[in-house]
Amino acid sequence: MTLAKRMTLKITALVAALVLVAASAAWGLLAARTSVRIALDEYVELRMILNLEEHLMVARGMLDTETTPAAANAELSAAMSELQNFIGFQDQQHRDIAPHEDEEDRYLETFETDVRKVMALLATQSGASDLAEALAGLEAAQVQLKHLATEMDETIASSQVESSRTLRLTLIALALVSFAMVVATVLVNIALYRSVVIPIRRLRDTAKSIASGRFNERLPLTSDDEFGQLARDFNQMALELDDLYRDLELRVREKSRELVRSERLAGVGYLAAGVAHEINNPLNIISGHAELTLRRFRKVDSGPNTQATEQALRIIRDESFRCKEIIEKLLSLSSGGDVERERVSLDQIVDDVATMLASLKQYRGRKVRVEFDPGSNVLGNETELRQVVLNLAINALEAVEPDVGEVSFQGRRYNSTIELVVSDNGQGMTPDVREHVFDPFYTQRSASKKRGLGLGLSITHAIVESHGGRITAQSDGPTRGSCFTVELPAFQEEKDKT
């Protein structure tokens, strides 16, 4: 059940309790008012009865003192007039207690009959017997009034008892309902505290934790209400923030590595620029004299000492050429300034490099496959891009074994980007190698193979970035091959202006 529904039910229960309190109070007040009204009516009627009795007593006193019948008859007429007032008052009141009202009507009817009979005897009095009968009639009428007064006293007493009982019951009901309301209010407040305050505090604490960098904090999913939905949304947000933060950390580390790589390349370039000319001159002299001496030894008759000397000179010559090649690579890192950019056919460069390498003896027995989308033209420097393709191709060919090795060049165009993918099924890379593969002087070639300086991929990375492109390395692990992806800006044909 949702929080809104639960709060609605609780508020409805409190409103129902308030209505019950009001209904109990109203019922008690109405019942007490009815009892009080009945008692007041009976008091008024009792006062009228007393007036009637007073008239009868005066009339009887007149007859006892032998006053003229006419005077006693006049008093009785006043009593009948008071009786009519009494009946008229009764007619205006509610008949709340029907048996009591019927009993009053019977007493009044008998009283009226007796008085009228006495009045008739007094009007035609002819002797003592009529007077005695009249006195008897007055006495009977007084008896009816006494019965009526007793009935009214009992009704008043009963109304008072009923009124007291109603007030007592009303107070008890109000007390019980009020107590129930207090308990319900406490329970509702506790429920609201658990369902609203505690989740808000938990949300605040978790938000503080996330704000402090602990993105793995999560809110517990304890309900399906609005706070439960909020917790799910909050956890989703925290998860996305965690992913974003991890991605940002990866990007920062990658940029830091690129910065370190760039600084290393720059340092290597400055070093190469400073010492290249000083080293090149001695190397030219050494290689020149080594070649000259080697040619002279070949003209002399061969012997054991001559062959050893010839082998030593050949090593000196080859290693001198190797040192010159290394210095040329170092100088390529220090070449600054703007390089001319033009339309370059990347697929043609790949075809040329693949054809050239396939004809070399050391790369025979390896399968080379080239697949390119038509129109794979990029904006760049052809010499530098040829060096990029050559470096990637040599690395791939040296990573695979003869007869089973396969190197693939795939070129695709995506809108304004040309993508070159160079993949092989060779020795692959570990995560650590993949992380440092573009660092200067880093290499994983085994000792059994010709060990390089680890500058080829560093130079490749620098050239690709200088062209506004991007290069990435991917491998599923050792012996599972490697894949290098190069993204370069495509050459955009200028549209004719209209």
> Residue 8 pLDDT > 70, yes or no?
yes
pLDDT in tens, 42-64: 888 888 888 888 888 888 888 77
pLDDT category of residue 264 using cuts at 50, 70 and 90: low
Question: Which among 142, 176, 191 is the end of a domain?
Answer: 191
> Residue 260 pLDDT > 60, yes or no?
yes
pLDDT at position 448 is 41
Q: How far apart are CA 238 and CA 220, in angstroms?
A: 13
DSSP code per residue over 23-85? HHHHHHHHHHHHHHHHHHHHHHHHHHHHHHHHHHHHHHHHHHTT--HHHHHHHHHHHHHHHHH
pTM of the entire predicted model: 0.42
**Who wins on pLDDT, 216 or 266?**
216
Cα–chain center distance at 322: 65
Q: Is residue 279 one of the residues assigned to a domain? A: no
Nearest to 321 by CA among 361, 277, 291, 299: 291
> Residue 474 pLDDT > 50, yes or no?
yes
Question: Which among 191, 213, 240 is the end of a domain?
Answer: 191
> Residue 275 pLDDT > 70, yes or no?
no
Could you give phi then psi for residue 493, rounded to 5 degrees? -70, 135
pLDDT at position 305 is 60
The number of beta carbons lying within 10 Å of the beta carbon of residue 166 is 20
pLDDT at position 186 is 84
Q: Is residue 110 one of the residues assigned to a domain? A: yes
pLDDT at position 447 is 42
Q: What is the mean pLDDT of the chain?
A: 78
The number of beta carbons lying within 10 Å of the beta carbon of residue 7 is 16
The domain that contains 92 carries what CATH number? Answer: 1.20.120
Q: Look at the chain and report how many structural domains it folds into.
A: 2
Note down the domain range covering 122.
3-191
Question: Which among 161, 191, 221 is the end of a domain?
Answer: 191
Diameter of the chain by CA atoms? 204
Q: Is residue 308 one of the residues assigned to a domain? A: no
Q: What average pLDDT does the segment 480-498 reach?
A: 78
Q: How far apart are CA 131 and CA 393, in angstroms?
A: 157
Q: Is residue 104 one of the residues assigned to a domain? A: yes
pLDDT in tens, 166-204: 888 888 877 887 888 788 788 878 877 777 777 777 777
> Residue 257 pLDDT > 90, yes or no?
no
Asked if residue 389 lies in contact with residue 382, where contact means CB atoms within 8 angstroms, the answer is no
